[in-house]
Amino acid sequence: MRQNNLSAYHCDMPYPEIRVLEKNPYYASLLMADYAGFVSEMSATNQYYYHSVVLEDVDQEIANMLRNISFVEMRHFHILAKVILLLGGDPIFYADTNYWNGDYVYYGNNILSQLEADLQAEFDAIENYQKNIELIDDPFVKNILRRIILDEEVHVRLFEKAIEKVKLMQNPPETLTDIIKETFPQN
């Protein structure tokens, strides 16, 4: 596979050093949900990767974007695995009494519903990270989670743009009046 430049798919701030204040298995257990729970880096990596493969012939540009975002999620996955280890946990693919399962992925069968599910996954991920930032009293872990959220916010914007593109392609404006309405919806 051609080497991809991922810089357009994550925030350009560097990631903080992967370290923790001290071992804390409870914090590790909280992070297991972000790592391999229903809404998790594991689910996002696999969901976006699946969408990138099945959308290759539908929209090459969007498929490429999805594959690159999937690689960024895999980086988050790796960071969480390391943090869980440092906290004294074991980064197996398990959270909330269940092993990670392929039915956590929204597969879908059309580009719009797939992208909308991907956008929702980002909102859900951000919400879960924010909850854990509140619960985890470790400045190093908090910083790592805050940094991951910055990438998820880039993904929100990318998915929103992709959805806009698909909607315009599926329902192209026919007249100049339509185009003006798209550009200035308040008029």
Q: List residues near Fe ion by CB under 5 A.
A: 41, 73, 76, 122, 152, 155
Measured between alpha carbons, how far is 162 from 1 in angstroms, rounded to an integer?
A: 23
Residue 96 backbone class (left: φ over 0; alpha: ψ -120 to 50; beta: rest): left
Burial of 78 (0-12, 13-18, 19+ CB in 10 A): middle
Q: How far is the CB of 20 from Fe ion (least distance, A)?
A: 19
Q: Which is nearer to Fe ion, 10 or 177 (CB)?
A: 10
Measured between alpha carbons, how far is 132 from 83 in angstroms, rounded to an integer?
A: 13
Q: How far is the CB of 178 from Fe ion (least distance, A)?
A: 33
Q: Which is nearer to Fe ion, 12 or 57 (CB)?
A: 12
Q: How far is the CB of 88 from Fe ion (least distance, A)?
A: 23
Q: How far is the CB of 66 from Fe ion (least distance, A)?
A: 11
Identify the DSSP state of 97.
T
Q: Which is nearer to Fe ion, 55 or 73 (CB)?
A: 73
Measured between alpha carbons, how far is 66 from 60 in angstroms, rounded to an integer?
A: 10
Q: Which is nearer to Fe ion, 51 or 155 (CB)?
A: 155
Q: How far is the CB of 43 from Fe ion (least distance, A)?
A: 10
Q: Which is nearer to Fe ion, 67 or 76 (CB)?
A: 76
Identify the DSSP state of 6.
-
Longest dimension (CA), the chain: 63
